[in-house]
Chains A and B, each alone.
Chain A
Amino acid sequence: MENFYGFFLDNLLIIYLLAFTVLLGFEIIAKVPTVLHTPLMSGSNAISGVVVIGAILLVRLTDPTDYLTLSLGFGGIILGMINAAGGFVVTDRMLEMFKKKKK
């Protein structure tokens, strides 16, 4: 339990960040109309590509002879980047269709 209290006190700022981001997320997204649920989902999907940042840092820190980790990281960057790039592009494609109908 001591361990837990210590963790809480050491990471107070990140815990605040977590709490506020969750609330902010709920608040923003609850306002999105039904019409836009699919683009919202694919757009937020693209945002979940943030994992690519972790993969980049991983590869940067890896010993160049550690091929196992390098390949893991290499694969990770590809996966995360497909998610991010593909997500934003397909969302843009969808939203373009919504836009041009405006009279």
Chain B
Amino acid sequence: MTAYIVRRLFYLVPIVFGVCLITFLLFNVVTTGDAIAKQRLGQHANQEQIDAYKKTHGYDKPIFVRFFTSIYDLITFNFGRSEVTHQKITSMIWDGMWPSLSLMLPAFIFTVMTGITFALFSALYRNTWIDRTIVVISIIGMSVSFLAYIIIGQYVLAYQLKYFPVAGYEWGFGVFKFLILPGLIYVLASLGRRVRFFRTVMLDEINQDYVRTARAKGLNQNVILFKHVLKNALIPIITQIVVTLPFLFMGSLLLEDFYGIPGLGAMALNAVNGNDFAIIRALTFIGAVMYVIANLVGDICYAFVDPRVELR
């Protein structure tokens, strides 16, 4: 297994290189140092100041030199400073990661647990009113736009009924009241999709011969569901969960934006809007690394839940 993990970690090299190349090209070929300097220095800047900026920031160097410097910086984890705010990117990511995680992690766990429970019931009582109610509610939940949940939730629950703060964040235990509403919205908006997917997976399993055999043998319903059906349905569920893991760190773009949560999602959005190449580069790098690691964790989990899977 160790050899497998090491080999998979080596996959990081081409993936990160490719991702960095694409981001670099997008930010350095489409726009030039002159335009970026003008954006940074403002409308009063003249050519002399623009040239000085390009020189101090290395925009006067050949493009391949800049690319390899950029890759070297990433490998040595030297993310540098934001080109717009001049803040240290490592600190920005560290500070932004916790609000994103504090919002996303509990909401995600709750969604997955609830989603699996509903899916199990739905599959177990398929074609009954229980199944139909769950499916209809799930489809309605999926059909409403995420932005609608955010705006209506904020206006009705926070502003009109005053159950939650409209927006904001607080470090420490005070954060709880700020996270309930965005967390609830995340759950509402994503539960339907998850229930539908988990239900399909469960139905595949519940129709298997071994379930019929287990029932024929008179096995308890809970044992059938939790010991056999759930365990065998875990592979696709794990696959779906692991691809979501990097996004828990990277945060939710819209939720953070509207609810004033200072997480990485909002940071990424601002960096894109402000052409902040240094931040985009760092976030892309971290995203790529986390994606590979999450997939690796997924593979390891497969081996645990399914003895037929071998990691070689």
Answer yes or no: do A and B interact. Answer: no
Binding site for B on A (CB under 8 A): none
